[in-house]
Amino acid sequence: MNTYKYWEEIEKVIDEALLLEEEFRESFIKKKCGQNPDLLTEALEYFSFIKKAEDHNFLQSDSLNTSNLFHDLDFSSLTDIKNNVIGRAIGPYQITKLIGEGGMGSVYLGERNDGEFQQHVAIKFLRGGFFSSYMRKRFKNEKNILSRLNHPNITRLLDGGITDDGTPFLIMEYVNGEPIDEYCFKNKLRIDDRLHLFLQIAGAIQYAHSKLIIHRDLKPENIFVTKEGRIKVMDFGIAKFLSPDSEDSSPIQTREGQYVASFNFAAPEQLFSNESTTTTDVYGLGALLYLLLTGQYPLRLNGYSLSEIESVILHTEPKKPGKITDSTIGDIPADLEAIIMKALRKEPDQRYSSVEMMADDIKRYQNELPVDARHATFGYRSGKFIRRHRSKIAAAVLLIAGLSGIIIYYTTQITAERNAAQHEAERAGAINQFLIDVFETADPEVNRGEQITANEMLNRGVEMAAGLTSQPELQIDMLTVAGEIYLSLGDYDSAFDVTEKALTQAQKLYGEEHVVVAGILNSMGTVLRNNGDYTAAKQYILEALEQRRSLLGNEHPETAASLNNLGVTLRLLGEYEQAQSLYEDALEIRRSVLGNQHPDVAKSLNSLGALFSILGKYEQAHKAHEEALEIRRSALGNLHSDVALSLGNLGIVFSNLGDNEQALVMFEEALVIQQSILGNLHPRVAESLNNLGVFLVSLEEYEQAIEAHKEALEIRREVFGNRHPNIASSLNNLGAALRFAGHLPEARSTLEKAVELQRELLGEEHPSFAISLTSLAFTLRQKGDYEKAHIMFEEALIIQLSALGNLHPRVATLLILFGATLRELGEYEQAFSMYEEALHIRRTLLGDQHPSVAVVLNSLGILLIRLEEYEQAIEAHKEALEIRREVFGDRHPSFALSLNNLGAALRFAGHLREARSTLEKTVELRRELLGEEHPSFAISLTSLATTLQLKGDYKTAEKLLHQALDIQQATLPKDHQRKAVTKSLLGASLAARGQYSEAENLLKEGYQTLSSQLNPEDIGVQQAKNRLEEFYREHGQP
């Protein structure tokens, strides 16, 4: 390979030379090697090869593709045609003269003269050559496609073929006219006349799109105006088979110089892919309109290299047409500017989705209606507003800004719903203007730095809406939007008021049955549901559903939305079977109407998955949430808030399935995504933290759970202020975590706050109020509070029964907690009937094999021991154990719990050997699952130790109890009951082994702690007392 003597020196010099501009390289080499003539000769020779390789594009990536090869193989080069073609006959046509030359080939005038009449055609010889049968076939196909185009503004393809020497040609209608830009400028046309011509072009392109043909190469050279002033668009889709091999299929990647003009009209996506769509032509039309109105190309590309041109097309925004001062036709109206800029967006999906929509907008401008292109302004302005004031403005206002998405979505919906109505554009424009007005009152720059809360702002908007009596349609829209926002702000009463007003007005204006009325009925249902009035909500949504079915049909996305909404309501009413079938119907409609990959399908799957989780069908839940996640990932990208929601839902499923590791990964990933997209101060971040907190409670990581809930609470306070239902729900969850952690006084005060807030915000008949009340009642188990707790439980029960009926899972939950409290009060008979009722409800609603049934059986088992019905207790625990084995498998914390309790029941029943082996299994399982520092592991140790004490093995018992106590000292708060029990037990063991003084201390301490916290009737207190008394009986009272 290398024949150079001085290679090392040469390489060094060449390396340096290559860093220089081309023109300096040779002199640099000469200077460096001047001392050694042999070296110089060799270096210059090598350099000459480098240059030749460069000049001949040797091994350049496109030299492997066909273009170079065409040259070698194509025996009919263009020069040959040029020289020979004049005078030749192509079919019935005589070629008379060359009328044009371009990158794609040469165009000749052909004449047909059969004596009677004369006909002119344009004959286009295509460059490139067709050397394979495959290419010929394709050419024929394209020809067939083009011949389908039959439109007054499109040049007709008359014929086409391949000459004997292999050159393909097309025979086209001959257009006697001039390119559109020249025509406009020469005749100094007014804007309106230019638009008139432009709409003809758009009509032609729209027609072609309806035939599935994309032009791809719109530019003035392809658009002529005839003598009669008619537009003729030519060269449809030609670019596509001009150079169809490998990388050259897009019109702009051909040899330098020839196609540079096309860059001015090329959409960004054309640079890198062949995937032209109708929106590619929208871009081309935008660029054309830009040129026609300003006399300039949208982007300045002169004097740039190819790669620089690419970068400009990809990244540089065109100068606003209105800013171009040397415009030949005066000022460009803002609406037209907006239209052009929308067509020229870099992202295809941000442009007009069809040529028709672009043309419509221009017509709207001509009729002096607000144009669609300016709708974006609201989002744009609110976006800018947020950026400007992120640090300055009140968080509440930030929330409203965050809601602009809802507003834009909603107003688009409104417009979509009323396509039939007159002047819809006018109204949509008015809505936006109205919102901007409301919005800008919150802008400190407009508002002189005063802070304004979201509520004040909204109230102002509603007041302003009240003044819109002359525009009832706009008024209805505004009230409806205001209702949505009040709902997000948690002001359910105001939401109800304005939505009801909107409904009344709408019924007056449109009649009882109308798509708009149906929409508001649906919203009304949502508002009522949030207000806790599920039954009324159901009625409204049913009505909305009926109307939508009859007005829009069964297979309509709006109908699906109502089905889903009804499903949510019925789920809350505990009517799971019906909810499931509604969700499934909605899902089916969405799949068939919107396709399997639509985000709304994910929404349905999400609802369904959540329901499956409630029903304990975790595998199905898992499947639904997985699919939703996949859809969201592919439709929305990995970093999207909805993706995080799906991850959170999967986390819940994994947690239910006992896969805590996987669950934790999901919850944390969800949180990270939400934080990185939404910042730290967003309701969805709070929701993620809340999920994490609930999960951590189930992991018994109480302190961490408390942290998570506190953080969620802080965010919600920042965002929603102190008085929002979400604050109450955070307080409720925080309170529960505090209770689990044993911080009883703090738990109590937190839950009291939650209850008070809900009483105020939701009223005393709201099921959510009942939930907090229940939670508080369950916490009031300290001495002296039982009576209060009892009253609260009863109050909550009455609320739930009247709101939800007696066959509802929440009623069951309440009965279990009530029962547990009664159990501690020693009211065993009452507790027993509560448990039985709860068991009945859950078996009926959820089936016999549901983990929630196992929970009741477990509580029942514990109670039966108090009732001294040991064999029944064993039965209950055995059934619970089997359910958990079935649902979770035998390596799950819940399974271990059942095993533990079964062991305890066996011990009480006197089956000591069986009890011991069961409890030993429990200890092992918990050691594996939870580790040796877990409080539940400690419980198993004490349970086993008690059994061993009964068997007389005080020595081993003592060892186990010491270990348990160590764990509990490290994990539980100071005066925790469990610790007191362990101390008392340890005292008994020590006494048996003769260590009396230490034994006495522990026995005393255990009993005192328990009796100070619990009712004297409590079995724990009783047992501790018995142990202490037995000690005194044997060793004498001090």
Partner 1 sequence: MKNQKDITAILVEFGNGSQKAYQMLFDSVYDELKRIASKQLSKERENHTFSRTDLVHEAFLNMIDIHRIDWKNRAQFYGVAAICMKRLLIDYARKKLTKKRGGDIIKKTFIDELIPGTENAKEIVKLDEALQKLREFDNRMAEVVDYRYFGGLTIEQTSEVLNVSRNTVKRDWAKARGLLYKELKDL
Q: How far apart are CA 215 and CA 282, in angstroms?
A: 10
- Minimum distance from residue 648 beta carbon to partner 1 (Å): 17
- Minimum distance from residue 11 beta carbon to partner 1 (Å): 7
Among 65, 413, 963, 1015, binds partner 1 (CB under 8 A): 65
Contact range with partner 1 by CB under 8 A, out of 243-251, 665-673, 996-1004, 1025-1033: 243-251
- Minimum distance from residue 66 beta carbon to partner 1 (Å): 5
* Closest CB to partner 1 among residues 132, 258: 132
- Minimum distance from residue 647 beta carbon to partner 1 (Å): 12
Please tell me the count of residues contacting partner 1 according to CB under 8 A.
Answer: 38
* Closest CB to partner 1 among residues 18, 306: 18
Cβ-contact 332, 364 below 8 angstroms = no
- Minimum distance from residue 36 beta carbon to partner 1 (Å): 20
Beta-bridge partners for 179: 224
* Closest CB to partner 1 among residues 241, 786: 241
Among 249, 411, 936, 977, binds partner 1 (CB under 8 A): 249
DSSP per position, 292-313: HHHSS-SS--TT--HHHHHHHH
Cα 862 to chain centroid distance, Å, stands at: 45
- Residue 353: its H or E element: none
- Minimum distance from residue 148 beta carbon to partner 1 (Å): 16
Site for partner 1 in 502-541 (CB under 8 A): none
Q: How far apart are CA 528 and CA 534, in angstroms?
A: 7
Side-chain-side CA neighbours of 732 within 13 Å: the count stands at 20
Site for partner 1 in 798-837 (CB under 8 A): none
Indicate whether 72 belongs to the interface with partner 1 (CB under 8 A): yes
- Residue 106: its H or E element: strand 105-113
* Closest CB to partner 1 among residues 66, 922: 66
Indicate whether 59 belongs to the interface with partner 1 (CB under 8 A): yes
Q: How far apart are CA 660 and CA 699, in angstroms?
A: 8
Among 20, 27, 36, 54, binds partner 1 (CB under 8 A): 54
Among 244, 268, 599, 763, binds partner 1 (CB under 8 A): 244
Among 34, 41, 71, 73, binds partner 1 (CB under 8 A): 73
Site for partner 1 in 14-33 (CB under 8 A): 14-15, 18-19
Q: How far apart are CA 322 and CA 316, in angstroms?
A: 17
Nearest residue to 185 (alpha-carbon basis) of 328, 363, 71: 328
Contact range with partner 1 by CB under 8 A, out of 129-137, 459-467, 659-667, 750-758: 129-137
- Residue 121: its H or E element: strand 118-126
Cα 1036 to chain centroid distance, Å, stands at: 72
Among 140, 623, 633, 710, binds partner 1 (CB under 8 A): 633
In a 3-state reduction of DSSP, which class is residue 108? Answer: strand
Q: How far apart are CA 823 and CA 825, in angstroms?
A: 5
Q: How far apart are CA 518 and CA 303, in angstroms?
A: 59
- Minimum distance from residue 141 beta carbon to partner 1 (Å): 7
Longest dimension (CA), the chain: 142
Indicate whether 920 belongs to the interface with partner 1 (CB under 8 A): no
Contact range with partner 1 by CB under 8 A, out of 8-16, 356-364, 441-449, 906-914: 8-16
Cβ-contact 695, 662 below 8 angstroms = no
Place of tokens 């040529």: 355
Backbone φ and ψ of 826, nearest 5° = 85, 5
- Minimum distance from residue 244 beta carbon to partner 1 (Å): 6
Indicate whether 722 belongs to the interface with partner 1 (CB under 8 A): no
* Closest CB to partner 1 among residues 628, 741: 628
Among 26, 111, 159, 245, binds partner 1 (CB under 8 A): 245
List the 231-233 sheet strands across, edge first: 177-179, 223-226, 231-233
| Torsion, Cα of 1014, 1019, 1020, 1021 (10° steps) | 60
Indicate whether 1 belongs to the interface with partner 1 (CB under 8 A): yes
Among 24, 27, 58, 924, binds partner 1 (CB under 8 A): 58
Q: How far apart are CA 279 and CA 348, in angstroms?
A: 6
Single-letter residue type at 962: H
- Minimum distance from residue 14 beta carbon to partner 1 (Å): 6
Indicate whether 136 belongs to the interface with partner 1 (CB under 8 A): no
Nearest residue to 523 (alpha-carbon basis) of 507, 506, 500: 500
Among 26, 178, 193, 247, binds partner 1 (CB under 8 A): 247
* Closest CB to partner 1 among residues 133, 367: 133
Cβ-contact 123, 108 below 8 angstroms = yes
Place of tokens 């501009």: 21
* Closest CB to partner 1 among residues 79, 273: 273
**What's the per-residue H, E or C state across 643-701?**
HHHHHHHHHHHHHHCCCHHHHHHHHHHHHHHHHHHHCCCCHHHHHHHHHHHHHHHHCCC
Indicate whether 639 belongs to the interface with partner 1 (CB under 8 A): no
- Minimum distance from residue 15 beta carbon to partner 1 (Å): 6
* Number of neighbouring beta carbons within 10 Å of residue 665: 15
Cβ-contact 696, 656 below 8 angstroms = no
Contact range with partner 1 by CB under 8 A, out of 75-83, 132-140, 151-159, 474-482: 132-140
Among 210, 246, 844, 1001, binds partner 1 (CB under 8 A): 246
* Number of neighbouring beta carbons within 10 Å of residue 113: 11
Q: How far apart are CA 278 and CA 205, in angstroms?
A: 9
Site for partner 1 in 689-718 (CB under 8 A): none
- Minimum distance from residue 69 beta carbon to partner 1 (Å): 5
Contact range with partner 1 by CB under 8 A, out of 43-51, 474-482, 504-512, 704-712: 43-51
- Residue 123: its H or E element: strand 118-126
- Minimum distance from residue 860 beta carbon to partner 1 (Å): 45
Contact range with partner 1 by CB under 8 A, out of 66-74, 258-266, 489-497, 984-992: 66-74
Contact range with partner 1 by CB under 8 A, out of 48-56, 260-268, 433-441, 723-731: 48-56
Among 12, 34, 49, 783, binds partner 1 (CB under 8 A): 49
The dihedral region occupied by 149, where left means phi > 0, alpha psi between -120 and 50, and beta the remainder, is beta
Site for partner 1 in 274-313 (CB under 8 A): 274
Tell me, residue by residue from 534 to 573, as one string, x for binding to partner 1 by CB under 8 A and - for no binding.
Answer: ----------------------------------------
Among 36, 141, 578, 1001, binds partner 1 (CB under 8 A): 141
Tell me, residue by residue from 188 to 227, as one string, x for binding to partner 1 by CB under 8 A and - for no binding.
Answer: ----------------------------------------
Contact range with partner 1 by CB under 8 A, out of 67-75, 94-102, 746-754, 964-972: 67-75
Q: How far apart are CA 439 and CA 384, in angstroms?
A: 12
Nearest residue to 263 (alpha-carbon basis) of 214, 204, 306: 306
Which residues contact residue 617 at a Cβ distance below 8 angstroms, ignoring those fewer than 6 apart? none
Among 412, 638, 802, 1026, binds partner 1 (CB under 8 A): 638
What tokens appear for 86 in the block? 């004049």
Q: How far apart are CA 432 and CA 411, in angstroms?
A: 8
* Closest CB to partner 1 among residues 14, 195: 14
Q: How far apart are CA 159 and CA 663, in angstroms?
A: 67
Contact residues toward partner 1 (CB under 8 A) are: 1-2, 11, 14-15, 18-19, 46-47, 49-50, 52-54, 56, 58-59, 61, 64-66, 69, 72-73, 131-132, 134, 138, 141, 240, 244-247, 249, 274, 633, 638
